[in-house]
Chains A and B, each alone.
Chain A
Amino acid sequence: MEFSEHIKTANVEDVVLRQPLHPPLRGTLCITGHHLLFSDREEDEGRSSGQVLLLLRNIDAVEKRTSGSSGTITIKCKDLRVLQLDIPGMEQCLNIARSIETLSCLDCVSEMFPFFYRPSELNLQDQWGLSSPEEHYRQATELHNRWRLSSVNRDYSVCPTYPRAVVVPREISDDMLVKASRFRQGGRFPVLCYVHRKNGMVIVRSAQPLTGANRKRCKEDETLLQAVIGGSDKGYVIDTRSAQQAQQARMTGGGFESKSCYSQWKRLHRHMERGKALQESLIKLVEACGDESSNMDRWLSKLENSKWLSHVQTALSTAGLLAECVERDGRSVLVHGSEGTESTLLVSTLAQLIMDPGCRTLEGFLALLEREWVQAGHPFQQRCAHSAFSHARLQHESPVFLLLLDCAWQLWRQFPLALGFSEALLLRLADEAYASSYGTFLCNSEQERSVAGVREKTHCLFQALLRSRHRDSYCNPLYERTELAIWPSVHPQSLQLWRGFFLRWTPQTRLLEEAQEEIRNMIVEWEKLVMS
């Protein structure tokens, strides 16, 4: 791979950089294969503020404007930062802009920065990831009676988006799984994702059944689901589509679990927005947040019109419904939408946060994300290719993962003591999902990661976060473990805009961040002395 062919101008002197929260800087701009580097001219030792290192992948949109012999490039980042570069020399300006445009959206995974990132403190031989499906199963001994670990998908042939090993009812053979997989979109047959220790009920997730217009049936699928509820007389299916959408899906080969074929299962439909609608909502919200016009009278209407907060509300209330089925009603639940890689994961993850104290620690939360998003096959590369500023035509982009982080933030705000991680962690994850030096969020599935050699050739974000010098800042200093479920209030009055993310580059948000840091330091200092 020759990045140099995309770099006509690698260095420009006398560039002025304007970025939020900082005074303008004059200095040298440098483009490499993966980074934009700016360094202040008068570089005193120890004064690092004059340096900006930006991952090109983080750049969502480039806008150039030339006037006379110089030009201005506006860089809009996926972390919602907007930078401006005043570059002397029109040709240089155009060259730089073209390089950024090309290098910021490389398609080939192996050309991406994580494959080149070799920090001295990390070793490629270090453990990759926090836990494998095998280990996770091994530790969940309470499952072993009724559930087994199947490696039917060991070569990803049964379901290309599942991991090699999945947990399924003990009495269902691999042959039956293969047959059941043909009845579910993308081969995503029902697999276990959570067992509720208090009552032994489980959450199972899948893709939609391929009943089609002719109301096809699949005996193995029905048996599999029967085995999920075992001796119990009833389970719930939470379908993240409206009843009407589920009906319509039959026309294109999809469908739902009909009452007659799955008599023990009660279906509950909750319409959740996905795909393009979510992406458009994000774009509208970011536009409203960045609106510099003096007329702010309509801010609340704009916020409402973006519908982002209503997506947050739907996600949290559907997750609440799921948790209610399991915890309060004492039933097992199957959750799916259509493909089972978006809203399905959103809801199952949030329900686990609500019910399971083990998921609310820093490690527990990262492990949850690894299981429910990375290993479960959320297509990060497609969904996070672009964010809200991009001028490119929308393809598969959708901020589902960002929505998850926002919902987690709402929980964090409503239950300031119950979650072991901090807002800083959520912000970091939001950044890393869109542009990262680590391999964790690369590719769309475990299979793709395996082909690309992600494990062997990149570093793992989760491991790095846990070992980081900044680990403390990812912890919540007020955290106190509670065994109780944390039921979020989902009324619009209880939900807030996640200012820390959406208004991140404003001075006020920065002040709040500093105050939170101060509070953390304070508590740490008190405890240190009092315990000594």
Chain B
Amino acid sequence: FDQEKKIKNRESFSFWIPSQSNVCCPFKLTLSSLIVARVEHLSPPAKMKIMVAVKRVIDYAVKIRVKPDKSGVETQNVKMSMNPFCEIALEEALRIKEAGLASEVVAVTIGPKQSIDTLRTGLAMGADRGIHVEATGDLFPLAVAKLFKALVEIEKPGLIILGKQAIDNDCNQTGQMVAGLLGWPQGTFASKVVLDKEKQEVMVDREVDGGLETVCLNLPAVITTDLRLNQPRYATLPNIMKAKSKPVKKYTPEELNVGTKSDLEVVEITEPPKRKAGVLVSSVDELIDKLRNEAHVI
């Protein structure tokens, strides 16, 4: 509590510096700033906030249909849910908080009006607060990352956790771009996360092509989650009840001073070619003939 007060003083103090005309007690200003600076340097931040990105996507179990005009996939009357990797990200944040290593979990969603449903699911799972950046139209990872950066500057989290990719566009870019824009270290495809609050660092096991790679990141850092990190909890009724009174702050991209116009444009969406039926051959000679003359692979 004491520390909080001092930090608060510092924030208001920083407005004083430019106004050199304040001759009242110049000596006092300098001294208190010295004391505050020392205190800040000695002890790690007591209250770490975790920011988690959650996205509203077409439910994983739904059979996707491409619209006849090839402009996109059918989303009318289709079940929408939280992106599975975002669920895992939120679950990890909640576990870190429950272990006493973070004080608050803030769920963030960027999307149209209905994205609030996904945020509500996040709150029902246990997030403390929600932020909804209401933006319509096609949002590409770079725009999302820029919006995230703007929110980070407001919220100042110690850790950002995102899903490794969204199952609708499979980009796998947003987490990396956020880290790049902020200049923060990143641990992507996390299958294990171990936070060390004292040392202000986090060890991340990454699932890579060759196996597992362990990286050690200084906080603040960005982590993106892979499938095997954890098994997300269900939204229990008591938590659903509590979620109704949890605050949700709304922003627009304009308020955050971020332009969302992309230099990418989706030209066409088509289904992958239908798999052709297999053919039974009657002899090895026939097989060789087909491989050479039809499939042209030998």
Q: Do A and B bind each other?
A: no
